[in-house]
Structures are given as structure tokens and as C-alpha cells.
């Protein structure tokens, strides 16, 4: 089975979500025959789109949550139902050793994802991160380690 992690923008524009979803389906398609384990932090946007498509393709989902309070601190009311649905469908849920969400928790979660996968999908527009733990940071670390990175940013996609 191929273990694929996800990093990506949480602020994908509403009009871009289906473009990104289609690109993720296409990217996952080449690995479906051997089976896929998707590893995600379940942030809104790219992480959740990826998790949905891994499950839709018959793969399994492993979740890495940055902190004990991640749901309460970072998952908005409009996104809780989707988050909870994915969380209960995961084969495994791992919490980082942080009580509260924050930059260090996100960095540790990125490290856990990168340390447990064969490749990384990055739903990324190529722009730098605003600080440690962002998409560009995860791509940089993966590249430095020689972990294959598949950058996914379909034409016409944008962020809010």
C-alpha cells in the first residue's frame, strides 16, 4: 500500500474546491490499484478534500491532530459536521502532545505526517508560508529529505 500525506491550503476559494478535488482524484488514481493510506490533519480545504477522495477511492485514512483542542480551536461551526464525519471514518487518530493549537503544534503534526508517508501531495500555489508549519514549510522539509512531492494546483484555482 502506498502511504500518501497531504499538505495544502485551508483557504481554497469556494469556486476552486471542485478544481482541486478533480486534481486530487486524478493524482490518486495511479495509486488506487495497490491501495492508498491517506494521512491528513483534517484541516479545512485541501486536507479534507484529500481525505474525502482517499475514502471514496476505497483507501484508508489516518488522522494526525495537532492538539487536544484542535477541533474546538480551529474547526469552524460550518465545517464541524464534515470534520467529524471524516474523523469517525479514520482507521487511526493520533494526537500530538499539545493541549492547544498553535505554530509548534502544526510543525509537530507536519513532522508526524512527513515521517509516516512514502510521498506527499501538496495542494500549493507556490507561495511562501506565513510561518512554521505551513504548506511551503512542509514542501521544503519533504524536498530536503528526498520525499517525493506531487504539487497539485490546477489552472484557475485560487485562495480566499
Residue indicated by cell numbers 487511526: 92
Helix (H) or strand (E) holding 64: strand 60-65
> What's domain 2-152's architecture?
3-Layer(aba) Sandwich (3.40)
| Coil/strand/helix, residue 122 | strand
Return the number of other C-beta atoms located less than 10 Å from residue 7's C-beta.
30
Domain residues of the chain, as ranges? Answer: 2-152
User: Exposure of 76 by Cβ count < 10 A (0-12 exposed, 13-18 middle, 19+ buried)?
Assistant: exposed
Which pLDDT tens digit goes with each residue over 63-120? 999 999 999 999 999 999 999 999 999 999 999 999 999 989 999 999 999 999 999 9
What's the half-sphere exposure (Cβ side, CA atoms, 13 Å) at 118? 9
Dig out the grid coordinates for 33 from the structure: 490499484
| Residues shown for the chain | 160
What's the half-sphere exposure (Cβ side, CA atoms, 13 Å) at 69? 6
Which pLDDT tens digit goes with each residue over 35-78? 999 999 999 999 999 999 999 999 999 999 999 999 999 999 99
Q: What is the pTM of this model?
A: 0.95
Amino acid at each position: 500500500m502506498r502511504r500518501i500525506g497531504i499538505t495544502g491550503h485551508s483557504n481554497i476559494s469556494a469556486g476552486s474546491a471542485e478544481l482541486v478535488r478533480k486534481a486530487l482524484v486524478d493524482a490518486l488514481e495511479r495509486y488506487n490499484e495497490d491501495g492508498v493510506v491517506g494521512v491528513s490533519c483534517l484541516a479545512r480545504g485541501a486536507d479534507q478534500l484529500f481525505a474525502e477522495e482517499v475514502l471514496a477511492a476505497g483507501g484508508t485514512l489516518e488522522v494526525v491532530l495537532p492538539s487536544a483542542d484542535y477541533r474546538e480551536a480551529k474547526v469552524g461551526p460550518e465545517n464541524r459536521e464534515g470534520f467529524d464525519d471524516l474523523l469517525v471514518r479514520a482507521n487511526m487518530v493520533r494526537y500530538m502532545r499539545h493541549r492547544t493549537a498553535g505554530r509548534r503544534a502544526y510543525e509537530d503534526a507536519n513532522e508526524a505526517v512527513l515521517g509516516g508517508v512514502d510521498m506527499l501531495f501538496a495542494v500549493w500555489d507556490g507561495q511562501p508560508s506565513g510561518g512554521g508549519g505551513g504548506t511551503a514549510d512542509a514542501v521544503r522539509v519533504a524536498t530536503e529529505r528526498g520525499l517525493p512531492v506531487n504539487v497539485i494546483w490546477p489552472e484557475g484555482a485560487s485562495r480566499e
